[in-house]
Amino acid sequence: MRALLFGGLVACAALTGCSSIFDKHVEYTYIEPDSYPVLKAVGYAPISAQPGSNESQRTLLAIKASKLEAYRELAEQVYGQKISAGTTVQNSIAHNDQLQSQVQGVIKGAQVIKTYAVGDTYATELQLDMKRVHDLYIGEVKPRQVKKVTYY
């Protein structure tokens, strides 16, 4: 039994010892999807509800708020939305019903397509071309897969 175990260890050491003699060259290829979706989002903000001493200030704040709402909508499409809910029941009667949502993420490469007022509401339309996001990602991360391995 010991002789068999010793023989196995010697064979294992010999095999791993031989593999360290060879060197290798690895060629990589970059992975690119067949098609890229274009995500669109619209954000709205009421002008008259904004704080400010005059109409111009309220309009500027509504522009900013509508842009942030559009970015939030894009983040929901890309990352999803976390939902937390809870209900307190006492004596078979619901006393407190809560629902909370949260979105968290980074949106890079989105473009403002259009921003305009519709009555007392300001709207901002955004577009996120996933081809552009892919190009930004490739520039930073450089993902790759093995294309060819040459041993010599």
Q: Where are the domains of the chain?
A: 27-147
Question: How far from 144 is each of 27, 63, 139, 149, CA to CA, in Å?
Answer: 10, 41, 12, 14
pTM of the model: 0.66
- Which of 32, 19, 110, 31 lies closest to 69 in space, CA to CA? 110
Q: Which residues contact 27 (CB under 8 A, 6 or more apart)?
A: 146, 147, 148, 149, 150
Q: How confident is the model at residue 102 (pLDDT cuts 50, 70, 90)?
A: very high
Residues listed for the chain: 152
Confidence of residue 73 (pLDDT cuts 50, 70, 90): very high
Q: What is the mean predicted confidence (pLDDT) over 83-99?
A: 90
